[in-house]
Amino acid sequence: MLPDRRQQILRPVRLSTIVVSFVIALLLNFLPWHNVALVPDFVALTLTFWCVRQPQLVGLGVAWVLGLLTDVGNGVLLGQHALSYSVLAFCAVTLSRRILWFGVSGQTLHVAALLLLAQGVGTLVRLAAGAEFPGWSLAIGPLGAALLWPLVSFLLLAPQRRAHEVDDTRPI
Amino acid sequence: MEHTPPAFFNRGPAPVVRLTFFALLSLALIVLDARFRYTEGLRSALALATQPFQIAAAAPAAALRRVADFFASQSQLSTENVELRTELVKAKLAAQRFEAAAAEGARLKQLMGTAEKIPGGATPAEIMYSGRDPFARRVLVDKGSRDGVRAGSPVVDESGVMGQVTRVHALLAEVTLLTDKDQAIPVQVARNGLRAVAFGGGTSGLLELRYLAANAEIVNGDRLVTSGIDGVYPPGLPVGTVTRVERDATNIFARVLCQPAAGIDRGRIVLLLTPVEAPAAAAAQAESAAEKARDKPATKGRRQRAKETRAP
């Protein structure tokens, strides 16, 4: 299988884009949702995106700090999201070249697997700490988040696209 | 040696090494938090960073609710007003009767020479949203340490005990509901004074009375009230009604399930009560009780102690 040949050449990413995207993701996560299990984890999704696109800039350290913030904000066991986000970032960084080889639908499938894995790690930690299994609805959040992948990658790549201008002197 | 890359290709430690480092760090935090609860300081320091996000995220919903309240129709308000007036008259009647009974009870207690526990003040609060943890049953209310809320305060609604404040932030407090798997409350059967401990049933939404002997005198429909011996919950508050009693010859304990009295999953307005005794005294008492019970095979003791350290 060949990679998607119609990819645009992108401008280098600005650090402010990454920071703002994480701030917005944290805000979306802290909205007073009625049932958290059914809501996509926006921070995990954004983290996966940047780990896949910019593995040099965003990696395990960022993931761990974001996980810790999520733990404190959600009032859950300290370290639960830190661990699951670290595992998520590791897999995303390791698989980044492979994932980018695929088209949008293939990427979505990969991301679904990664997010489910992260949720599974968090669930195992809580079950080991003595919590009760709340049911398989836990899988709905990650799957919903994976479905948002095309939208998120379109939005987060938008600042990097150059304007489509006709310029005969430009080689590409 | 000849396989080492030049310094300008160096990307730091390998991903596996980093993963190991961060995973071990997370696991250390998890153990410290789950087993020893040593992380409250770190938690409150990090909460300073997350609190602006939480307040900003909660603002739109709060504003929306305020707008909805503002546009409540005149007729709706007047019907509600009439209903509330009727309720108030009924409640006043009940309160007068209760005062007479309380005075009588106090006199009797004085005759018997027992000290009376006087319940402290109460703070009304509104439930803002349910907790962001699918593994626990918690809600967040809009009163925090600025309003004098303390960890460990019992939370009641109009029909009974709802839970306990387990964590206090500046503007918010986290209430663990009675149905949470790790929540326990000392109760007694209103009919005959039989004491027991009710544990949360988790996702079933029920309470479970554990460690009751198979021949304990308890039947379907028995009302449970707080016993007040823990020094946290004032005595006599309704907790629930027994809905099922299973006595099994193979088991030395009966299996008793009860329906909570309070509207655990509905309602918006709750009261945060001040714990009956000073929390320090209650904690010391629990500690000495736990020390006494340490050689007994008591899961209950360990749980109770964990609860005390979490909510002193």
Asked if B133 and A75 come within 8 Å (Cβ–Cβ), the reply is yes
Asked if B203 and A74 come within 8 Å (Cβ–Cβ), the reply is no
Are B225 and B156 in the same domain? yes
List the single residue in A64, A74, A78 with the smallest CB-CB distance to B33: A78
Residues paired with residue B156 on neighbouring β-strands, in sequence order: B161, B271
Domain boundary among B116, B132, B165: B116
Residue B155: C-alpha distances to residues B24, B173, B212, B270, B311 (Å): 38, 11, 26, 7, 13
A40 in helix, strand or coil? coil
Are B226 and B130 in the same domain? yes
Nearest residue on chain A to B12, judged by CA atoms? A56
Q: Is B195 part of any domain?
A: yes
What was the pLDDT predicted at B116? 52
Residue B45's domain comprises 15-58
Nearest residue on chain A to B38, judged by CA atoms? A78
Give the ipTM of the model, two decimals please.
Answer: 0.86
Are B81 and B230 in the same domain? no
Domain boundary among B67, B101, B116: B116
Q: Per residue of chain B (312 residues), give pLDDT as tens.
A: 567 666 666 777 888 999 999 999 999 999 998 888 788 888 888 888 888 888 888 888 778 878 887 887 788 888 889 999 999 998 998 888 888 888 888 888 777 765 555 456 788 888 887 888 888 888 888 888 888 888 889 998 888 899 999 888 877 888 999 988 888 999 999 888 899 999 998 878 889 998 888 888 888 999 999 988 888 888 888 899 999 898 888 888 888 999 998 877 777 788 888 877 654 555 555 555 555 555 444 444 444 444 444 444
Q: Is B261 part of any domain?
A: yes
pTM score: 0.78
Cα separation, B33 vs B26, whole angstroms: 10
Are B91 and B41 in the same domain? no
Q: Is B70 part of any domain?
A: no
Q: Is B6 part of any domain?
A: no
Asked if A87 and B181 come within 8 Å (Cβ–Cβ), the reply is no
Longest dimension (CA), chain A: 66
Are B32 and B111 in the same domain? no
Q: Is B135 part of any domain?
A: yes
Q: Is B63 part of any domain?
A: no
List the single residue in B11, B53, B202 with the smallest CB-CB distance to A73: B53
Asked if A131 and B23 come within 8 Å (Cβ–Cβ), the reply is no
Q: Is B306 part of any domain?
A: yes
Q: What is the set of domains in chain A, with CATH numbers?
A: 15-158 (1.10.1760)
Domain count, chain B: 3
Asked if A74 and B131 come within 8 Å (Cβ–Cβ), the reply is yes
What was the pLDDT predicted at A5? 55
B63 Cβ under 8 Å from any chain A Cβ: no
Contact status, residue B137 vs residue B180, Cβ threshold 8 Å: yes
CB contacts of B182 in chain A (<8 Å) are: 130
Are B149 and B253 in the same domain? yes
Q: Which CATH number is B311's domain given?
A: 2.40.10.340
Name the nearest CA neighbour of B256 among B219, B209, B223: B209
Asked if A34 and B129 come within 8 Å (Cβ–Cβ), the reply is yes
Are B178 and B281 in the same domain? yes
Asked if B25 and A129 come within 8 Å (Cβ–Cβ), the reply is no
Burial class (CB in 10 A: 0-12, 13-18, 19+), A105: exposed
Are B131 and B206 in the same domain? yes
Asked if A131 and B135 come within 8 Å (Cβ–Cβ), the reply is yes
Cα separation, B98 vs B195, whole angstroms: 24
- Minimal CA separation from B29 to chain A, in Å: 5
Are B195 and B170 in the same domain? yes
CB contacts of A74 in chain B (<8 Å) are: 131-133
Contact status, residue A160 vs residue A11, Cβ threshold 8 Å: yes
Are B155 and B258 in the same domain? yes
Q: Give yes or no for residue A26 having a pLDDT over 50.
A: yes
Q: Tell the residue number behind the tokens 């896949």, with chain if given.
A: A52
Cα separation, B261 vs A153, whole angstroms: 49
Are B99 and B54 in the same domain? no
- Minimal CA separation from B134 to chain A, in Å: 6
| Alpha carbon distance, N-terminus to C-terminus of chain A | 25
Cα separation, B187 vs B3, whole angstroms: 71
Q: Tell the residue number behind the tokens 């000073």, with chain if given.
A: B278
Asked if B43 and A78 come within 8 Å (Cβ–Cβ), the reply is yes
Q: Is B268 part of any domain?
A: yes
List the single residue in A30, A56, A68 with the smallest CB-CB distance to B46: A68
Are B125 and B105 in the same domain? no
